[in-house]
Amino acid sequence: MAERGFEISRLPGFATVAIAAFVILYLPIVTLVIYSFNASNSVAVWGGFSLHWYGDAWANQAVKDATVRSLIIGVSASVLSTTLATLAALGTTRRRAYRGQTLIYVMINQPLMVPEVVTAVALMIFFGIIKVATGYQGLGYLIAAHTAFCIPFAYLPIRARLESMDLALETAAADLYATPWATFRRVTLPLLAPGIMAGAMLSFVISLDDVVITEFVKSGGQDTLPTYMLGQLRRAFTPEVNAISTMLLGVTVVLLTAFFLLTRKKD
Amino acid sequence: MSPAEENAIRSSARNGWLLSLPALVVLALAASGPLLIVVYYSFLTANDTGGVIRQFSTEGWRAIFLSYDIFEDRYTLADAHLTIFWRSVWLSLATTALTFVIGFPTAWFIATRPARQRAMWLFLITIPFWTNLLIRTFAINEVIRNEGILNTTLIWLGVITEPLRIVYTETAVLIGMTYVYLPLMVLPLYATIERFDMRLLEAAYDLYASRWTTLRRVILPIVKPGIIAGSILVFVPSLGAYVTPRILGGGKKMMIGNFIELQFLQGRNWPLGAALSVLLLVIVTAALLVYVKVANRDRSQGHG
């Protein structure tokens, strides 16, 4: 019998801890998903498969309104932030380093560095002043706030894509007398499309998931799905929130898988 | 350099600015700019009914550490505030330590898988990383609450007769933060371990080093930049945490984030809330500057 080889990189106990870590990471999420299909009223007791929590969530007008609001904000913020991030990525890559470029990077990435609760407080004060001055109470504030913190997430994949693109194709287009605009529309943009799609998906996921900034900025009756869930948690526990979580989770996993497929490096 | 070239460089820089400008304007209006208002508000006078009176005062800053005793007409240390700061700091440090103890073997495990498997394991770490923090906190709450899965299982197994009361304690917040921030520790650790030259282990073992000595004297010093990066990436959001302590601490075990919210949404003391926000921002920025410095040094030393 051959002895098991001395595996050089194996450290005792590490694999056990690692497997345990993966189990711990997934067990709560999987449990949450399973129990969202529970027919019983209790979380701990399994009463058979049922979709009635999904039915309850769907019949609840507050949930419907929050879903619509989340989608409006998510789609607007995603489209706006991706557009702005695409322009900024074009302005900060593939050209000679220029004065202020570092400042632009810092400003774009700034939302990633400030604790969310601090940004939330700042926006609550600032938008509060504007609300009083203009009388406008609509969703515009939430869309503006979401657009801003989505910009760095949209910017990163677009910039990565631009940096890995071959300049020769655009030079070739210019050599063939394409105008700069035609080159951009017919060569650069199609090549950049996967990066833009990836940025749009990531920013949509980020907007859909935001709790803290939304909680502080929203006016009365402007709950999104996450702030609605947070409000429900304060009250008695309802498995309806399990159902909403599972649906949000599903959207996130689908979009993230698409994101990874889009940004995957070709072997 | 010819004047034509110089012109080309100048117009390239100008176009760079013009293209970035729309994004910068939105960020200035709805992210960075309003932070300045918070600084301004921290130096105003509190209005008892919420909001501020536009009158200069350092009371907000003083109130962070001192509270005014009306009966004795003097300032005393604000014990309640200090308890919250202390809790925030120690819970954040403990979260960092726990995520390291679990995260280091995990990162090592992923980095030593065959190249084909690695992407799959990494994807498994990134899914929770991008999943809604609220949902993950909620999921862990389901597990540890009094009638949760952990307690029902333990009672069913006969290990305990009474449910463990974990939720609404500091332990619950610690478990929750470790759970939600674990991927933030694993990812940077993985990035450094992946570049670790495994031949160094051979050399260590050839020189009769034990596994423990090798870990302590060879592996840990070399992956130190990853450890620092991961620690800061976990410490920073832990210190500013809001959702996790709110759900698992149940309003009793507040952290700085919740305390700031209390000052604003309950309309208690806006200048104090603003001063606390500025303080939190300064601490976090300092931690991140260390991170950037370490990350740059790591990059300049990296080979291959």
Taking an 8 Å cut-off on Cβ atoms, the answer to whether A11 and B240 are in contact is no
pLDDT in the model for residue B111: 92
Looking at the DSSP assignment, which residues form a beta bridge with residue B76?
B67
Taking an 8 Å cut-off on Cβ atoms, the answer to whether B112 and A10 are in contact is yes
Interface with chain A: mutation pick from B7, B36, B126, B138, highest number of A CBs within 10 Å: B138
At B75-105, the pLDDT tens digits run: 777 788 889 999 999 999 999 999 999 999 9
- In this complex, the residue of A18, A43, A101 whose CB is nearest that of residue B106 is A18
On whether the CB atoms of residues A178 and A186 are closer than 8 A, the answer is yes
pLDDT in the model for residue B244: 93
Query: Of the ranges A236-250, B135-149, B152-166, B264-278, which one carries the lowest mean pLDDT score?
Result: A236-250
- Nearest C-alpha in B relative to A93: B16
The better pLDDT of the pair A13, A47 is held by A13
Size of interface A-B (CB pairs under 8 A): 257
B218 at the A interface (CB within 8 A)? Answer: no
Model confidence at A236, pLDDT cuts 50, 70, 90, reads low
Quick one: how far is CA A157 from the chain centroid? 13
Query: Where do we find the tokens 């694993």?
Result: B186
Residue B68 scores a pLDDT above 80: no
Type of residue found at B250: G
Residue A3 scores a pLDDT above 50: no
pLDDT in the model for residue B289: 86
On whether the CB atoms of residues B186 and B106 are closer than 8 A, the answer is yes
Strands (E), B130-183: none
On whether the CB atoms of residues B108 and A20 are closer than 8 A, the answer is no
Task: State the Cα–Cα distance between residues B94 and B107, nearest whole angstrom.
Answer: 19
pLDDT in the model for residue A73: 97
Residue B304 scores a pLDDT above 50: no
Identify all chain B residues contacting A15, using CB atoms and an 8 Å cutoff. Answer: 105, 109
At A176-205, the pLDDT tens digits run: 888 888 888 888 889 899 899 989 998 999
Those residues whose C-beta lies under 8 Å from the C-beta of residue B140, and which sit 6 or more positions away, are A28, B175, B176, B179, B180, B248
B168 at the A interface (CB within 8 A)? Answer: no
B210 at the A interface (CB within 8 A)? Answer: no
Those residues whose C-beta lies under 8 Å from the C-beta of residue B144, and which sit 6 or more positions away, are B150, B151, B166, B167, B172, B175, B248
On whether the CB atoms of residues B110 and B118 are closer than 8 A, the answer is yes
Task: State the Cα–Cα distance between residues A32 and A57, nearest whole angstrom.
Answer: 16
On whether the CB atoms of residues A127 and A222 are closer than 8 A, the answer is no
At B98-129, the pLDDT tens digits run: 999 999 999 999 999 988 888 889 889 988 88
Q: How much is the average pLDDT of A109-123? A: 92
Q: What angle do CA A250, A142, B141 make, to 5 degrees?
A: 45
DSSP B262-282: HHHHT-S-HHHHHHHHHHHHH
Each residue of A186-219: b (16+ CB within 10 Å) or e?
Answer: ebbeebbebbbbbbbbbbbbbbbbbbbbbbbbbe
Type of residue found at B269: N
The better pLDDT of the pair A52, B278 is held by B278
pLDDT in the model for residue B78: 79
Nearest Cα to Cα of residue A88 among A142, A156, A145, A185? A156
Interface with chain A: mutation pick from B1, B10, B109, highest number of A CBs within 10 Å: B109
Those residues whose C-beta lies under 8 Å from the C-beta of residue B59, and which sit 6 or more positions away, are B45, B46, B271, B272
3-state secondary structure of B237: helix
- Nearest C-alpha in A relative to B27: A148
pLDDT in the model for residue B161: 85
B130 at the A interface (CB within 8 A)? Answer: yes
What average pLDDT is seen over chain A?
87
On whether the CB atoms of residues B48 and B55 are closer than 8 A, the answer is no
**Rounded to 5 degrees, what are φ and ψ at B57?**
-160, 145
B157 at the A interface (CB within 8 A)? Answer: no
- In this complex, the residue of A14, A249, A260 whose CB is nearest that of residue B105 is A14
Taking an 8 Å cut-off on Cβ atoms, the answer to whether B23 and A151 are in contact is yes
Task: State the Cα–Cα distance between residues B224 and A148, nearest whole angstrom.
Answer: 34
Task: State the Cα–Cα distance between residues B247 and B134, nearest whole angstrom.
Answer: 9
Start-to-end C-alpha separation, chain B = 35
On whether the CB atoms of residues A207 and A82 are closer than 8 A, the answer is no
pLDDT in the model for residue B168: 87
At B119-159, the pLDDT tens digits run: 889 889 988 888 888 999 989 988 888 877 888 888 888 88
Residue A174 scores a pLDDT above 70: yes
pLDDT in the model for residue A1: 40
Model confidence at B278, pLDDT cuts 50, 70, 90, reads very high
Model confidence at A263, pLDDT cuts 50, 70, 90, reads confident
- In this complex, the residue of A44, A100, A121 whose CB is nearest that of residue B147 is A44
What's the ipTM?
0.86
- Nearest C-alpha in A relative to B275: A118
Identify all chain B residues contacting A11, using CB atoms and an 8 Å cutoff. Answer: 105, 108, 211, 215
- In this complex, the residue of B138, B143, B240 whose CB is nearest that of residue A233 is B138
Q: Taking each helix axis from N to C terminus, what angle separates B115-130 and B170-194, rounded to the nearest 10 degrees?
A: 150
Rg (alpha carbons) of chain A, rounded to whole number: 24
Those residues whose C-beta lies under 8 Å from the C-beta of residue A171, and which sit 6 or more positions away, are none
Rg (alpha carbons) of chain B, rounded to whole number: 25
Nearest CA distance, A111 vs chain B (angstrom) = 7
Task: State the Cα–Cα distance between residues B181 and B242, nearest whole angstrom.
Answer: 13
Interface with chain B: mutation pick from A40, A118, A156, A229, highest number of B CBs within 10 Å: A118
pLDDT in the model for residue A75: 97
- pLDDT over 70 for what percent of chain A? 93
B2 at the A interface (CB within 8 A)? Answer: no
Q: What angle do CA B295, B297, B299 make, to 5 degrees?
A: 70
pLDDT in the model for residue B23: 95
B215 DSSP 8-state letter: I
Identify all chain B residues contacting A260, using CB atoms and an 8 Å cutoff. Answer: 123, 126
B72 at the A interface (CB within 8 A)? Answer: no
3-state secondary structure of B77: strand
Query: Where do we find the tokens 């769907």?
Result: A58
The better pLDDT of the pair B298, A246 is held by A246
At B170-216, the pLDDT tens digits run: 999 999 999 999 999 999 899 889 888 888 888 888 898 888 888 88
Query: Of the ranges A65-74, A164-173, B226-235, B248-257, which one carries the lowest mean pLDDT score?
Result: A164-173
- pLDDT over 90 for what percent of chain B? 38
Nearest Cα to Cα of residue A80 among A126, A162, A148, A137? A148
- Which whole-number Å values give the CA distances from B109 to A11, A17, A198, B124, B186, in the listed order? 9, 9, 29, 13, 10
Q: How much is the average pLDDT of B270-283? A: 93
Identify all chain B residues contacting A13, using CB atoms and an 8 Å cutoff. Answer: 105
Taking an 8 Å cut-off on Cβ atoms, the answer to whether A114 and B236 are in contact is no
Taking an 8 Å cut-off on Cβ atoms, the answer to whether B261 and A115 are in contact is no
- Which whole-number Å values give the CA distances from A137 to A74, A117, A126, A133, A215, in the listed order? 18, 21, 13, 11, 15
Query: Where do we find the tokens 């508000």?
Result: B41
Taking an 8 Å cut-off on Cβ atoms, the answer to whether B23 and A88 are in contact is yes
Nearest CA distance, A157 vs chain B (angstrom) = 15
Nearest Cα to Cα of residue B182 among A28, A265, A260, A215? A28
